[in-house]
Amino acid sequence: MADLNTGLLRGRVALVTGAGSGIGRSTCVAMAREGASLVLADINEAGAAETLSLIQQDGAPGHHLPLRLDVTDEAAVDAVLREVQRHFGRPADIVVNSAGIMGPVAFLLDLDVKAMREAYTINVEGTFIVMRAFARALKEAQRGGAVVNLSSVGKLACFPKRGHYAATKGAVSVLTQTASREWAPLGIRVNAVLPGMVDTPMTQNGAPPGVREEAIKSMTSLGRMAKPEEIAEVIVFLASDRSSYMTGAEVPVSGGIFGAI
């Protein structure tokens, strides 16, 4: 990726869930390069620590705080928001809800309801719990801010064997749209990114080596999977003042997946 650093997030505090891998990790690195101080939240403490190490190796400015977080635990989310307030002396300015799971690769007829429930709990309830706690903290402090949620083009394409995942991402989109209207008077913008197929640990399961890549070539205009860094750059834009007139937007970052099918 080209070095596009312009200090877009200088002086901002950003809470990123799912910071220990994939899009969440790349978002943390990109935001740190743009001057943000990061709260690297992940249920995998080792993954968050590794992300922090990558930021430090990169030499980006800012002060960063890795924290363990189960996004489905309301008490834990509230505790993290209190720690952010204590540590930085104010609430976070930005939250990126990147924590999520794909779940099993299965037709709906074969899908275990437990798998559906787990995907919903993490992807939908987790996103809701974090964004609500974030907005409450900003409202109390009388500050504005930005939420960026991770939805998916899968909720539009409805690929077979991914129905449970697509359903949860559709719900995230509805949460995004509703919150964007309810929270606009508070000065809180809420947008979503809809990635296509991204080369992350979450998408590396479910297909033999090479099969996934060949399918993507035939489905996308650009003929390849996205790098997580390419999704992160769009997230940075939506979190920054460069997108100050955007709220309720859903931005596909798919390599032209619909232009090729």
Q: Residues 180-185: contacts with CB within 8 Å, 24+ apart? A: 180/247, 180/248, 181/248, 183/135, 183/147, 184/247
Q: How many CB atoms lie within 10 A of CB 112?
A: 12
Q: Which of 195, 158, 146, 191 is nearest to 173 (CA)?
A: 191
Distance, CA of 30 to CA of 17 (rounded, Å): 14
Distance, CA of 192 to CA of 159 (rounded, Å): 20
Q: Please indicate whether residue 165 is annotated as part of the active site.
A: yes
- Which of 165, 180, 226, 235 is labelled catalytic? 165
**For 52, what's the count of Cα atoms within 13 Å in the CB-facing half-sphere?**
19
Q: Which residues are catalytic?
A: 165
